[in-house]
């Protein structure tokens, strides 16, 4: 038996695992006791990882050979790598030759390792000359990126997991960490036991398992977070609870924000948010001064937040307005304090580092900045890189649906299930002239549209690095060889690049470490400088947080401790952004606010977790959760089928009464696809899963779509 240290591929906590293998078979997994993200703990998903690699499961779920379809709708036929790559190069090359480089697009994934991401980014922006490369991380954390950059000057979460142990007050907003980041939540529970005076405030429209543990639960109306944050600041100003010295020394722009929040009185905010004014005052006091409420004692408050803030048409404003509270009270750059966005996917952070989004370049550089473009061009040995903004996730599929993007390359993600407004995504995949899907799993929703299927390696089979929510870079290691003819994601991108432009000198790599070294070079002098890090150091000292510049022995746990920020004047910037309601308000025909989210034991579109019966013990089937009052009003019994309908489509599923959901709201888990939860568009096309209903309206700042809010109707389904 061999034992190999690696990282869990499920979520942004980034737990270390020890993989047990016998020959080419993974036989077990356990938490790595030395990994600083989890110290040996694993959640229900992590504990069963090895079972998803069992031979029988692999046979049923994996893509093992390159496959091509002679025509759309035909069964895919096995081909060889040489033919597959030749076909891909010819079809992409034809589209580029006929219509220019922006006629092709890449849609990649927060599941990719940093090395994979780097190569795909260079392939699109460097070799082909298009910025049309975006990622499913756009659906997950691009509002956090925009919020950090707008206020703090760089996309860098300033806090770390250990801050949970030092906080006097935890403010969890738009995050059901108890289910979505379980191992981090265990740490929160431990910290509360160790420090009984610590206060936990949870703001969430749903009374989740996280909210159940709160000292103060704020059941705000969906989408009203900005109003809440402005209201808290109003109270802090009125009561003299802000830190005028910190504001004066380390920030700019406070006057405009102060003027904006003047009208956000507790009564008005309470009315819009559906909260009690006295609860707002308590929340503001605890945020500023902790449980003692003593104005002479400044507390350390740590905010943890996730998709409830990010997946919104006001995502940037929500993130920035929460960060405002930290700047106004000096709750940043010290133990136990700071605005700390949690990443959903295992390597959403690594993708940000290499510029794997349509508006970014390597090492947190901006596409819109000519100097940054020149730096990346010099790094890659090119005369220039294109400056035209790339198409972000929603825009990319809309452009393909309109016929402007002719060839699509989809890697390690399942957009025909996970993207909002499935009508458009399906139209895009039908209309695109050539669709490549590079995947480990045979995800039917998207693979059914592929002209070419390329088998990729996955967890337990590949080497590289990932970065978790606290900026910690961990090694991912192979415990077993690649199955069938699967290749590593970075290798597939390199092989394609060399077929598309034979003789190019951009991809000289023979190992993932060679790719990583180029990424490392790109970070020198940047906020995420890792010039002092190496694979060898990760081997010797274990996972490290960035930055880790040359000359420093370890990574930095928290940022901005000296009160200096990576802005031109070194000061953080308050953002005075007004509250705006969700893009699609409830109306008489669609009177419910639908929100979507995760279950405790399932992962994304279930390509892994859906293969294990034991993970259905928690929740066995999809349902729409409604408040008991709404169930009674609609004369519904638990388990009765209902049509849930939005302006875009309709699905049928059982109704379930739940006190977790407020009246006039509805919740459906995001995991089930068309095999179980099929539906129809408003014009009758078949659609899959809850995203038949969701809207592709997005935040203008971050381009992140509003997966957390759609107006829907719920009607009892009449049996034939």
Residue of 27, 29, 10 lying closest to 19 (CA atoms): 29
- Provide the minimum distance between the beta carbon of 209 and ligand SF4 in the complex, in angstroms, as a whole number: 14
Under the criterion CB under 6 A, does residue 182 sit at the interface with ligand SF4? Answer: yes
- Provide the minimum distance between the beta carbon of 599 and ligand SF4 in the complex, in angstroms, as a whole number: 12
**Between residues 311 and 343, which has the closer beta carbon with respect to ligand SF4?**
343
- Provide the minimum distance between the beta carbon of 307 and ligand SF4 in the complex, in angstroms, as a whole number: 15
Q: Contacts with ligand SF4 in 122-181 (CB under 6 A)?
A: 181
Using CA atoms, how far residue 365 sits from 112, 153, 352, 502, in Å, is 20, 12, 10, 29
What distance separates the 2 farthest-apart alpha carbons in the chain?
74
Under the criterion CB under 6 A, does residue 612 sit at the interface with ligand SF4? Answer: no
- Provide the minimum distance between the beta carbon of 404 and ligand SF4 in the complex, in angstroms, as a whole number: 38
Q: Which of 51, 123, 145, 183 binds ligand SF4 (CB under 6 A)?
A: 183
Task: Give the nearest residue (CB) to ligand SF4.
Answer: 46
Side by side, which strands form the sheet with 2-7? 2-7, 16-22, 25-31
The window from 4-12, 222-230, 392-400, 689-697 that contacts ligand SF4 (CB under 6 A) reads 4-12
Residue of 428, 448, 447 lying closest to 439 (CA atoms): 447
The window from 36-44, 316-324, 530-538, 576-584 that contacts ligand SF4 (CB under 6 A) reads 36-44
Exposed, middle or buried: residue 719 (CB in 10 Å: 0-12, 13-18, 19+)?
Answer: exposed
Contact status, residue 484 vs residue 65, Cβ threshold 8 Å: yes
Helix 512-523 crosses helix 370-380 at what angle (to 10 degrees)? 140
- Provide the minimum distance between the beta carbon of 53 and ligand SF4 in the complex, in angstroms, as a whole number: 15
- Provide the minimum distance between the beta carbon of 10 and ligand SF4 in the complex, in angstroms, as a whole number: 3
HSE of 682 in the Cβ direction (CA atoms, 13 Å)?
A: 10
Contact status, residue 542 vs residue 35, Cβ threshold 8 Å: yes
Q: Which of 10, 560, 579, 667 binds ligand SF4 (CB under 6 A)?
A: 10
Under the criterion CB under 6 A, does residue 38 sit at the interface with ligand SF4? Answer: yes
- Provide the minimum distance between the beta carbon of 338 and ligand SF4 in the complex, in angstroms, as a whole number: 21
Exposed, middle or buried: residue 678 (CB in 10 Å: 0-12, 13-18, 19+)?
Answer: middle
The window from 42-50, 170-178, 362-370, 637-645 that contacts ligand SF4 (CB under 6 A) reads 42-50
Under the criterion CB under 6 A, does residue 42 sit at the interface with ligand SF4? Answer: yes
Contact status, residue 303 vs residue 318, Cβ threshold 8 Å: no
Residue count, binding to ligand SF4 (CB under 6 A)? 14
| Sign for the pseudo-dihedral over CA of 536, 541, 543, 545 | negative
Q: Contacts with ligand SF4 in 43-62 (CB under 6 A)?
A: 43, 45-46
Q: What is the DSSP letter of 11?
A: -
- Provide the minimum distance between the beta carbon of 206 and ligand SF4 in the complex, in angstroms, as a whole number: 20
- Provide the minimum distance between the beta carbon of 42 and ligand SF4 in the complex, in angstroms, as a whole number: 4
Q: Which of 14, 219, 351, 483 binds ligand SF4 (CB under 6 A)?
A: 14
Under the criterion CB under 6 A, does residue 13 sit at the interface with ligand SF4? Answer: yes
Tell me the C-alpha distance between 577 and 227, whole Å. Answer: 10
**Between residues 10 and 449, which has the closer beta carbon with respect to ligand SF4?**
10
Q: Which of 6, 8, 168, 350 binds ligand SF4 (CB under 6 A)?
A: 8
Q: Which two tokens stand for residue 520?
A: 């490392």
Q: Which two tokens stand for residue 248?
A: 């004066």
What residues make contact with ligand SF4 under the rule CB under 6 A?
A: 8, 10-11, 13-15, 38, 42-43, 45-46, 181-183
């Amino acid at each position: 038996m061999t034992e190999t240290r690696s990282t869990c591929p499920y979520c942004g906590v980034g737990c270390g695992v020890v993989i047990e293998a016998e020959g080419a078979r993974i036989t077990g997994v356990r938490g790595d006791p030395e990994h600083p993200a989890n110290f040996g703990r694993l959640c229900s998903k992590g504990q069963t990882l090895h079972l998803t690699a069992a031979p029988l499961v692999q046979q049923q779920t994996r893509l093992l050979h390159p496959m091509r379809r002679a025509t759309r709708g035909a069964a895919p036929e096995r081909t060889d790598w040489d033919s597959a790559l030749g076909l891909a190069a010819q079809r992409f090359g034809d589209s580029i030759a006929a219509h220019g480089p922006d006629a092709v697009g890449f849609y990649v994934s927060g599941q990719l390792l940093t090395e994979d991401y780097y190569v795909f980014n260079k392939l699109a922006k460097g070799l082909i000359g298009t910025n049309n490369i975006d990622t499913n991380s756009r659906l997950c954390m691009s509002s956090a990126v925009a919020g950090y950059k707008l206020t703090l000057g760089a996309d860098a979460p300033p806090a770390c997991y250990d801050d949970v142990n030092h906080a006097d007050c935890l403010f969890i907003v738009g995050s059901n960490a108890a289910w979505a980041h379980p191992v981090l939540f265990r740490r929160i529970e431990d910290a509360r036991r160790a420090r009984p005076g610590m206060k936990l405030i949870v703001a969430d429209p749903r009374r989740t398992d996280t909210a159940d543990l709160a000292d103060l639960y704020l059941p705000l109306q969906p989408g009203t977070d900005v109003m809440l944050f402005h209201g808290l600041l109003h109270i802090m100003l009125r009561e003299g609870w802000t830190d005028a010295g910190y504001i004066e020394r380390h920030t700019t722009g406070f006057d405009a924000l102060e003027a904006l929040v003047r009208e956000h009185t507790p009564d008005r905010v309470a009315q819009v948010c559906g909260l009690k004014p006295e609860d707002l005052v308590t929340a503001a006091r605890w945020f500023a001064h902790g449980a003692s409420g003593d104005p002479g004692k400044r507390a350390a408050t740590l905010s943890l937040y996730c998709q409830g803030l990010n997946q919104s048409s006001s995502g940037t404003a929500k993130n920035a307005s929460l960060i405002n509270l930290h700047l106004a009270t000096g709750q940043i750059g010290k133990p136990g304090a700071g605005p700390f966005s949690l990443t959903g996917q295992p390597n959403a952070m690594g993708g940000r580092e290499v510029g794997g989004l349509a508006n970014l370049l390597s090492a947190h550089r901006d596409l819109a900045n000519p100097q940054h473009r020149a730096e990346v061009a010099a790094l890659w040995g090119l005369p220039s890189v294109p400056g035209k903004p790339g198409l972000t996730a929603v825009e990319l599929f809309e452009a393909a649906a309109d016929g402007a993007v002719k060839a699509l390359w989809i890697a390690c993600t399942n957009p025909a299930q996970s993207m909002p407004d499935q009508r458009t995504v399906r139209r895009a995949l039908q209309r695109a002239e050539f669709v490549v899907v590079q995947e480990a799993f045979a995800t039917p929703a998207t693979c059914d549209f592929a002209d070419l299927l390329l088998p990729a390696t996955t967890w337990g089979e590949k080497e590289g690095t990932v970065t978790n929510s606290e900026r910690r870079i961990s090694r991912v290691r192979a415990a077993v060889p690649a199955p069938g003819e699967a290749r590593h994601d970075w290798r597939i991108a390199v092989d394609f690049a060399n077929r598309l432009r034979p003789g190019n000198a951009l991809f000289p790599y023979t190992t993932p470490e060679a790719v990583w070294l180029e990424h490392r070079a790109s970070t020198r002098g940047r906020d995420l400088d890792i010039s002092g890090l190496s694979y060898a150091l990760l081997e010797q000292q274990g996972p490290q947080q960035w930055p880790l510049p040359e000359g420093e022995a370890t990574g930095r746990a928290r940022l901005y401790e000296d009160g200096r920020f990576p802005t031109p004047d070194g000061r953080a910037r308050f953002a005075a952004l007004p509250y705006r309601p969700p893009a699609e308000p409830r109306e008489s025909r669609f009177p419910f606010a639908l929100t979507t989210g995760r279950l405790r034991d399932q992962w994304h579109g279930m390509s892994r977790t859906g293969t294990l019966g034991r993970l259905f013990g928690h929740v066995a089937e999809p349902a729409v959760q409604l408040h008991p009052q709404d169930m009674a009003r609609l004369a519904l019994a638990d388990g009765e089928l209902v049509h849930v309908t939005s302006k875009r489509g309709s699905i049928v599923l059982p109704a379930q009464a739940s006190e977790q959901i407020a009246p006039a709201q509805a919740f459906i888990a995001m995991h089930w696809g068309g095999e179980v939860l099929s539906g129809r568009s408003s014009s009758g096309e078949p659609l899959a899963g809850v995203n038949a209903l969701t809207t592709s309206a997005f935040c203008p700042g971050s381009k992140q779509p509003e997966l957390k809010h759609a107006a829907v109707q719920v009607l009892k389904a009449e049996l034939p």
